[in-house]
Amino acid sequence: MSRLSKKRLETPVAVTRSSLPPLEEYVDMLKPLWESAWLTNMGAYHEEFKEQLKRYMGVSNLELFVNGHMALELALQALELQGEVITTPFTFASTTHAIVRNGLEPVFCDIRSSDYTLDAGLLEKRITEKTCAIVPVHVYGNFCDVDQIGEIARRHGLMVIYDAAHAFGETLDGKGAGEFGDVSMFSFHATKVFHSIEGGAVAFRNDKLAGRLYELKNFGITGYERVEYVGANGKMNEFQAAMGLCNLRHVDQEIEKRQKLALRYRERLSGVPGIRLCAENPRVRSNYAYMPVVFDGYKKSRDQIFEQLAQYNIHARKYFYPCVNHYDCYRERFDERETPVAAQVSRQVLTLPLYADLEPDVVDLICDLVLE
């Protein structure tokens, strides 16, 4: 396939695009819903989806939710935590919001410049007598240092709740992302590698959490006439579960398509002075969720590249920018200067378009525009 000429594309290229199963496949899944009229409240598809995910992810305990944020927020509530939670400022708003909305105090730890995950070497400096848990994030699907984080957590008696929103389908040394920590949250938002339109899940070790998570996502109802907890409406509906079941059949092929595009980006952009790509971890089977590029001393700034691509109808994303501890809603409470690596990376990083149906010619055009 020949390269595209350098002219504005007629069809916008977004940073990501939802993968969809064949329409007929999804429509066939809907017919039983019309016959049963059971559209939500943990129906047949919900239960089938949960069981298939457990097998695919290699976990023994899993609960489904309406979205990833509600999954994380209710997981934190179910653990009945109090005090301070150490986390990263280099993440999506949901991570910190879930902590704060549970009445917990976020304590921000800086990140590693190699893969943008929480720097476990700085972790113990942030632990106090009020610390109750650690919420690290597998950023862009880059695994955190689960070994060191786990060792520190055990030594200090802390819970570890991974935000694994970016890590679905990934393994580290053959173990799935849901097998690390006490709890791992996954997002099935439409922009993710795998999605159920909206949706989320929590994988967890403690069997006793199953009942509590189920009840909390159903308003705290524990019996026909009994409500014991202040819960929420966090239930995944049958249409979401049907989409999840369809997409689960195709997710491995979707990841293979993403891999080819990611390798093309790396071939074109690796070794260029001023351009930094994430370090690859040979222990990880990646899902190729994102293509982050850091412009550090490059001939053009991140913002200039962002604007130049937009002129060609190519829409990259400053992801994550700004850092959470520099949000308007948190700026009076926290200082991003306490996490200088995260602050710098947030000002330099640009995630380039990457999705299964992206044309290789478009990848080459993007690289041409970045490199010219």
Asked if the structure places residue 94 within a domain, the reply is yes
| Distance (Å) of CA 84 to CA 100, 102, 108, 158 | 10, 11, 10, 11
Residues 333 and 96 sit within 8 Å (Cβ to Cβ): no
User: Is the same domain home to 274 and 213?
Assistant: no
Q: What is the CATH number of the domain that holds 101?
A: 3.40.640.10
DSSP 293: E
Asked if the structure places residue 2 within a domain, the reply is no
User: Is the same domain home to 162 and 238?
Assistant: yes
Asked if the structure places residue 16 within a domain, the reply is no
Tokens for 344?
């710098």
What DSSP string describes 156-184? HT-EEEEE-TT-TT-EETTEEGGGSSSEE
Residues 81 and 159 sit within 8 Å (Cβ to Cβ): yes
Scanning the structure block, which residue is given the tokens 């369809």?
246
Separation between Cα atoms, residue 168 and residue 341, nearest integer Å: 26
Task: Look at residue 79 in the predicted model and tell me its pLDDT.
Answer: 98
User: Is the same domain home to 68 and 93?
Assistant: yes
User: Is the same domain home to 200 and 89?
Assistant: yes
Asked if the structure places residue 18 within a domain, the reply is no
Asked if the structure places residue 12 within a domain, the reply is no
Backbone φ and ψ for 244, nearest 5 degrees, come out as: -60, -40
Task: Look at residue 6 in the predicted model and tell me its pLDDT.
Answer: 77
- Residue range(s) defining the domain that contains residue 278: 251-371
Asked if the structure places residue 354 within a domain, the reply is yes
Task: Look at residue 241 in the predicted model and tell me its pLDDT.
Answer: 98
DSSP 40: S
Asked if the structure places residue 10 within a domain, the reply is no
Task: Look at residue 91 in the predicted model and tell me its pLDDT.
Answer: 98
What is the total count of domains within the chain?
A: 2
What pLDDT, in 10s, does the model give residues 312-351? 999 999 999 999 999 999 999 999 999 999 999 999 999 9
User: Is the same domain home to 141 and 288?
Assistant: no
Task: Look at residue 2 in the predicted model and tell me its pLDDT.
Answer: 46
Of 188, 217, 248, the position where a domain reaches its end is: 248
Amino acid at 16: T
Asked if the structure places residue 6 within a domain, the reply is no
Task: Look at residue 3 in the predicted model and tell me its pLDDT.
Answer: 63
User: Is the same domain home to 256 and 289?
Assistant: yes
Amino acid at 118: L
Report the SS3 class of residue 372. Answer: coil
Of 231, 248, 265, the position where a domain reaches its end is: 248
Tokens for 176?
């799935």
Backbone φ and ψ for 142, nearest 5 degrees, come out as: -75, 120
Q: What is the CATH number of the domain that holds 346?
A: 3.90.1150.10
Q: How much of the chain is in helix, strand and coil states, percent to nearest 5?
A: 40, 15, 45
User: Is the same domain home to 244 and 256?
Assistant: no
User: Is the same domain home to 312 and 195?
Assistant: no
What pLDDT, in 10s, does the model give residues 22-33? 999 999 999 999
User: Is the same domain home to 270 and 231?
Assistant: no
User: Is the same domain home to 244 and 255?
Assistant: no
User: Is the same domain home to 67 and 213?
Assistant: yes
Q: Which residue stretches of the chain have pLDDT < 50?
A: 1-2
- The pTM of this model reads 0.96
User: Is the same domain home to 300 and 187?
Assistant: no
Of 198, 225, 248, the position where a domain reaches its end is: 248
Question: Using CA of residue 316, residue 322, residue 324, residue 327, what is the dihedral sign?
Answer: negative
